[in-house]
Amino acid sequence: MKGIADYEFVRHLGSGNHGDFYLARRPERLPIEADLVAVKVLAGESTQDTFRRAARELAAFAAVRSPYLVAAYDAGQQDGLFFYSMEYLPGGSLADRRLPAAQAITAVAHAARAAAALHAAGIVHRDVKPGNILLHESGAKLSDLGLAQVFTEGITITGMGAVATVEFVDPALLLGEPARPGNDVWSLACTLHHQLAGTGVYGDLSGQDGLMLLRTVLATTPAVAPDLPEPVAALIGECLTPQRPTAAEFARRLEEIA
């Protein structure tokens, strides 16, 4: 794919939930300083109804102001394909590598600040995971709105995107419960655990895929690795309970630890 609308693609950046990411040259009409932006093209054709719904969700996200959120610039539809452009951060994500403990804690704290801003606006991200926490020189930003929606509908297993990342999803969502801000806190804690321990709260899931991975997650009680230092281990453990802290509280406590 060479481009979409007036975006000229430079290269393919990778695939995410329900679509592909591209590095693109900024169209002259966009009033931003950056020369390059990231563009996500959603897989499959979109109807006018789904286009309007996706555009509304993106507009709601773009209206949230936080230095810890990747900026959303533009959205459109061409030949039945929905796309949107956003800020490009070349530093990769937490999915690319494990960081030193202090840096990992800071990165997740920044993502928690972003989630808190979304929650204050009535939005649950619902897809917080290492690949959606993008890194830069000063920390991290939360990205990819593939599943972010205003608090209305529940979620299904088939709507969760890549099964490989299901270990970061609150089981309540997998079981069809309505989305709540606490779902993002669960995911943030699981992401931090993976960074610090090298495995998730369900242990080593390598070699499992598809339904086997899903069954393991739903049948296993999550547990914090015994070698994680206090107080971060205790904080992660709190986030795996029904009485978990808010995203803002989680961020504040992480900042104290870091």
Q: How large is the greatest C-alpha to C-alpha distance in the chain, in angstroms?
A: 53
Q: Which two tokens stand for residue 236?
A: 């992660």
SS (H, E, C) 45-101: CCCHHHHHHHHHHHHHHHCCCCCCECCEEEEEEECCEEEEEEECCCCCECCCCCCCH
255 and 109 Cβ atoms separated by less than 8 Å = yes
Q: Which two tokens stand for residue 18?
A: 């329900």
Q: What residues are labeled active site?
A: 127
Q: Parallel, antiparallel, or unpaired: how do β-strands 36-42 and 19-25 relate? A: antiparallel
User: Cα-atom radius of gyration of the chain, to the nearest Å?
Assistant: 18
* Residue 180: exposure state from Cβ atoms within 10 A (0-12, 13-18, ≥19): middle
Q: b/e for 63-87, b at 16 or more Cβ within 10 A?
A: ebebebbbbbbbbbbeeebbbbbbb
Secondary structure of residue 194 in the 3-state scheme? helix
